[in-house]
């Protein structure tokens, strides 16, 4: 039986253009110093606050995905999602919680005022910190914003829950991150990641 004719197929690996090799600087996931991390992350988050408030919308300017099932507005969809986080953390009045990567402070302000918890938010951006503090003052929320990389943060008291939402995509060293979170929690520990 004659051999089937071999035709050049644009789908074969040899027909595709060679894979681009990224330089070390272009690699998304690689170990960075705290300063490099801050500089790189802030290239995005230190754009004008109005850009992000327009982009995210709603009352809480949640950057990550919201819960649209049964919601009729951006604010409602943000609150539904945050209520799920609250349920996962089993929030009760008087608890102390941390938001690693708190953005412009909307989620923590909502959780603190609705559930009566005390919050600490971490951000790498002074622009975000200022915007979050303005919001916190407006709501009279019991929330403190700390401009710090999670690696550098030193707690003076333990937390009942630590959460992070749409943030760990920035982290190369997840093992170290979860060890850090474990060390921040009280004995009855609860960590939530969305």
Ligand X SMILES: C[S@@+](CC[C@H](N)C(=O)[O-])C[C@H]1O[C@@H](n2cnc3c(N)ncnc32)[C@H](O)[C@@H]1O
Distance (Å, whole) CA 107 – CA 143: 11
Closest to ligand X by CB, 90 or 152: 152
Helix, strand and coil in the chain, % to nearest 5? 40, 15, 45
Site track for ligand X across 22-51, x = CB under 6 A: ---------------x---x---x------
SS3 159: strand
Residues, the chain: 194
Query: Locate tokens 């004995």: which residue?
Result: 187
N- to C-terminal Cα distance for the chain? 59
Question: Residue 165, interface with ligand X (CB under 6 A)?
Answer: yes
Q: Which of 111, 125, 160, 191 binds ligand X (CB under 6 A)?
A: 125
Q: Which of 117, 122, 136, 184 binds ligand X (CB under 6 A)?
A: 122
Give the residues lining the site for ligand X (CB under 6 A).
Answer: 37, 41, 45, 62-64, 100-103, 107, 122-125, 128, 149-150, 165-167, 170
């Amino acid at each position: 039986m004659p051999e089937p004719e071999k035709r050049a197929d644009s789908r074969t690996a040899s027909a595709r253009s060679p894979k681009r090799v990224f330089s070390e600087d272009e690699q998304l996931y690689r170990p960075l110093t705290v300063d490099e991390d801050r500089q790189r992350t802030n290239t995005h988050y230190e754009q004008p606050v109005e850009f992000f408030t327009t982009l995210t919308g709603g009352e809480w300017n949640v950057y990550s995905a919201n819960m649209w099932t049964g919601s009729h507005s951006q604010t409602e969809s943000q609150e539904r999602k945050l209520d799920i986080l609250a349920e996962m953390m089993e929030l009760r009045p008087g608890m102390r919680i941390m938001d690693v990567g708190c953005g412009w402070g909307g989620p923590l302000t909502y959780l603190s005022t609705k559930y009566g918890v005390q919050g600490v938010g971490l951000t790498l951006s002074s622009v975000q910190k200022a915007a979050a503090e303005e919001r916190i003052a407006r709501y009279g929320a019991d929330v403190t914003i700390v401009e710090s990389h999670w690696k550098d943060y030193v707690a003076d008291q333990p937390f009942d829950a630590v959460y992070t939402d749409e943030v760990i995509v920035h982290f190369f060293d997840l093992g170290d991150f979860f060890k850090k979170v474990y060390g921040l929690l009280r004995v009855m520990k609860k960590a939530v990641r969305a």
